[in-house]
Amino acid sequence: MRLAVYGATSTVLATAVLVSAFQRRPNFYSACVYLAQSNACLMVLANTGIFMTVLLGRIVQTILFGPLRVIELEHLYEKTWYAVTETCLAMTIFRDEFDARFLVMFTTLLFLKIFHWLGADRVEYMEQTAPASPLIFHLRVSVTLGLLNFVDIYIIRYALDDILTRGPNMMVMFAFEFAILATTAMATTGRYILSLIELRIVARADEEVDGWERKGEFMFYLDLVTDFVKLFIYLGFFLLILTVYGLPLHIIRDVYLTMRSFMTRIRDFLRYRQATSQMNSRYPDATEEEVSREPTCIICREEMVVPTSLPDQQSTQPERMRPKKLPCGHVLHFGCLRSWLERQQRCPTCRRPVLESANPSQTQPQQQQQQQQQQQGAPAPGPLPPHNEQAGASNHASGPSQPISHGASDQPPQVMTPEQLYFHPGPQQSQQGQQQQPVSLPPGFQLPQGWAILPLRQFANGLQQIQIRDNVWVTLATVQYVVPLGNGVLGVPPVDPVATFGPPTASAVPTAAPPAPSSSPSQAAETAADAGSSSSPAPTPTTSAPSESPMSANASTLPQESTIDQ
Amino acid sequence: MYKSQNSRNNTAVRRLMTEYKQLINEAPDGISAGPIDEDNFFEWECLIQGPEDTPFEGGVFPATLTFPKDYPLSPPTMKFTCEIFHPNVYKDGTVCISILHAPGDDPNMYESASERWSPIQSVEKILISVMSMLAEPNDESGANIDACKVWRNDRAEYNRIVKSNVRKTLGL
């Protein structure tokens, strides 16, 4: 619609200019001279030229692609900006040679780029869903890809001819741009052919098959080669421009992106190869007992069956249905595992790397920490152990623990039993008669050993308090290791009550905290050490709302001060 | 020459069917979901109840889930089809939470890999996560900046907008 209005205006203006020129001047020649010498006329005519070009582009697009999808339009807008700015930067290098031919080449380049993006989007779309009318779709895609390849190569030849006869000029840039485009076009064509082969294989197969198993591998090689060729072309051009003209600003971004993508691909490729090479021997078959513990495959959610030792039964079970055990102990179908390893070389359940040596730095400390805790029977300080993966994933932030200065109380606080524990719904103001609700933990979440859930309330000024026993509320910042969980639930490890909410005398020298009668000395020492490491040695008043803060200097009055009627 | 999608994309369709059956048999409180059209298992419609004791309480929010062909290796996308004012929901309704992001691409450059998509997630878990996201927005990675600002600075106004949207979804 906007295009129609723009077109109509342009055409009317251009016609008006032409008609007036021919009426005012006696003959054709002088009319042309007049038009060429008047800037206003030239602008009007140039505007019409732009309109004609856009119109031509739209017509070609309608023929080759039909209506565009929303996502395709979004991609276009996004990429066009980059393309235009980068080419404008490139113009600065060749500013002496700016002429009509440059303009024509530039426009051609822009339109061809757009068609390349559209083509790639279409092929990707085909991989995701089946097109509504396959015949027209495939006709269009194949014609488009053929045309693009042909045009790219033709222009490259033209540009090269020009460079060879007249020495390096701005055609160098166009030869390079079109070489990149040609690479893209060929990669898209390759991808299209791979998809066609997959369709053919699936259509021919008698039984139901799960796509073409080796397609992922071929796609991988294709991408690798494409990236390599692109990198080669970019670097060549970069060096050429650097020697002949100076630093080519406009492609630095592309060179960097291609380089990074190439590196990532190589790294992924090596890891993938390592993880999938000799999959049969690398990952042992799961035993009956292991399968019975974890009977469904986490990827396809279907039952796993252990092939019995009888050879004839084994042959009826396809290889991809065989249960395989990962180093972390989780069991998956062979085929499901392989397709997941194409994406990530980690266990889908616990995210430990499937390659022992792949990423030791990321997992070992955590494991060690867990082992230590198990040995000492001490609760987990700091962030929750991986149990909360599912629960923590429910929002972006699985809350980090908040290291705090520790509170003080002269009475030994009691540890709440799970039956006593309730939570207040989320961040709300404390109200009279607010109901307490039973704890509801997110499904799949297990409270770590030694942790408790305590009621939370929040005041209008942002002060948050949790209830450690009847009518005793402690400001959040004074409690150690508080982890917000879901809807206002707080986890607090009542590790060693004395050390956690220890007496004021102990707080100056945390290690001197008297061990609780229930806990072993080593445990208390560790807790106290934790307290010391993550807190200031002396109890410091909380910054928020001093009047209500239990962290008053006079610790003996703490329970009374922080007692607030409900 | 071309079979229907159902036979082409086996793992995805079979797994979606399994999940659908499970959701029918043991429907969790406050959510319901299923394919819009049983011939196409890749487009689901779901309803989420506003969590209690939040301004969303009482509302029922429709959304669509779009599954990729390689589900469950890649995550689906979720888009509310009603007006929703929330820091982690884009203005067009697209939900932005970490478990719906594939490992590798990180739009906000700070989510850790352990919070991302993995085949262990499911439609049910996604919907439960979205429900808890409604109750507890995460303003660190805002998708709707206006909602972030209002949520952070003027909670009463936030509650008012959300409640008026709830009334709209109920047709009041």
Q: In A377-520, where does DSSP find H-type helix?
A: 389-392, 497-500, 504-508
Q: How far apart are CA B48 and CA B55, in angstroms?
A: 14
Residue B110 has pLDDT above 70, yes or no: no
Q: How far apart are CA A392 and CA A390, in angstroms?
A: 6
Model pLDDT for residues A83-124, shown as the tens digit of each residue: 888 877 777 777 777 777 888 888 888 889 989 998 888 888
Set of chain B residues whose Cβ sits within 8 Å of the Cβ of A487: 51, 53-54, 132, 135-136
Q: Which of A203, A340, A346 sits opposite B2 (nearest CB)?
A: A203
Is-catalytic flag, B96? Answer: yes
| Average pLDDT score over residue span A16-29 | 83
Residue A514 has pLDDT above 70, yes or no: no
CA A238 to chain centre: 31
Model pLDDT for residues B58-81, shown as the tens digit of each residue: 888 999 998 887 788 888 989 999
CB neighbour list of residue A265: distance below 8 Å, 6 or more residues apart: A220, A223, A224, A227
| Average pLDDT score over residue span B97-105 | 75
CB contact under 8 A, B128 and A443: yes
Asked if residues B165 and B86 have their Cβ atoms less than 8 Å apart, the reply is no
Suggest the residue from B11, B71, B152 to mutate for an interface test with chain A (most A CBs closer than 10 A): B11
How is residue B5 written in tokens? 């999608």
Reported as a pLDDT band with limits 50, 70 and 90, residue B52 is confident
Rounded to the nearest 10 degrees, the angle between the axes of helix A360-376 and helix A521-533 is: 140
Q: How far apart are CA B62 and CA B33, in angstroms?
A: 10
Q: Is B27's Cβ below 8 Å from some Cβ in A?
A: no
Q: Is A392's Cβ below 8 Å from some Cβ in B?
A: yes
CB neighbour list of residue A20: distance below 8 Å, 6 or more residues apart: none
Bigger pLDDT: A300 or B64?
A: B64
Three-state SS string across A342-402, please? HHCCECCCCCCECCCCCCHHHHHHHHHHHHHHHHHCCCCCCCCCHHHHHHHCCCCCCCCCC
According to DSSP, the residues that pair with A474 across neighbouring strands are: A466
What does the pLDDT read at residue A445?
Answer: 56
CB contact under 8 A, A299 and B133: no
Q: Is A398's Cβ below 8 Å from some Cβ in B?
A: yes
Alpha carbon of A392: minimum distance to chain B alpha carbons (Å): 7
Rounded to the nearest 10 degrees, the angle between the axes of helix A334-343 and helix A252-276 is: 160
| Average pLDDT score over residue span A75-81 | 85
| Average pLDDT score over residue span A269-280 | 76
CB contact under 8 A, A426 and B125: no
CB neighbour list of residue A92: distance below 8 Å, 6 or more residues apart: A249
Task: Classify A336 as helix, strand or coil.
Answer: helix
Q: In A94-249, where does DSSP find H-type helix?
A: 100-128, 134-166, 171-204, 215-244
What does the pLDDT read at residue A189?
Answer: 93
Alpha carbon of A29: minimum distance to chain B alpha carbons (Å): 58
Task: Classify A467 as helix, strand or coil.
Answer: strand
Suggest the residue from B7, B8, B89 to mutate for an interface test with chain A (most A CBs closer than 10 A): B8
What does the pLDDT read at residue A25?
Answer: 80
| Average pLDDT score over residue span A384-392 | 38
Q: Which of A130, A349, A389 sits opposite B2 (nearest CB)?
A: A130
Residue A565 has pLDDT above 60, yes or no: no
How is residue A47 written in tokens? 């505007």
Q: Which of A389, A443, A444 sits opposite B114 (nearest CB)?
A: A389
How is residue A322 written in tokens? 């065989």
DSSP string, chain B: ----HHHHSHHHHHHHHHHHHHHHHTPPTTEEEEEEETTEEEEEEEEEEPPTTSTTTT-EEEEEEE--TTTTTS--EEEESS----TTB-TTSBB--GGGS-TT--TTS---GGGS--TT--HHHHHHHHHHHHHS--GGG-SSHHHHHHHHH-HHHHHHHHHHHHHHHTT-
Residue A400 has pLDDT above 50, yes or no: no
Give the predicted TM-score (pTM) of the model.
0.54
What is the arrangement of strands in the sheet containing A489-492, beginning at the earlier edge strand? A452-454, A489-492, A483-485
- Percent of chain A residues topping a pLDDT of 90: 5
Residue A201 has pLDDT above 50, yes or no: yes
Set of chain B residues whose Cβ sits within 8 Å of the Cβ of A298: 119-120
Query: Would you give the DSSP letter of residue A429?
Result: B
Mean pLDDT over the full length of chain A: 67
Q: In A94-133, where does DSSP find H-type helix?
A: 100-128
CB neighbour list of residue A488: distance below 8 Å, 6 or more residues apart: A423, A424, A425, A426, A427, A428, A456, B136
| Average pLDDT score over residue span A243-260 | 79
In a 13 Å sphere around the CA of A329, the CA atoms on its Cβ side amount to: 6
Task: Please name which of B76, B81, B14, B15 lies closest in space to residue B46, comparing C-alpha atoms.
Answer: B81
- Percent of chain A residues topping a pLDDT of 70: 58
Residue A286 has pLDDT above 50, yes or no: yes
Q: How far apart are CA B137 and CA B139, in angstroms?
A: 6
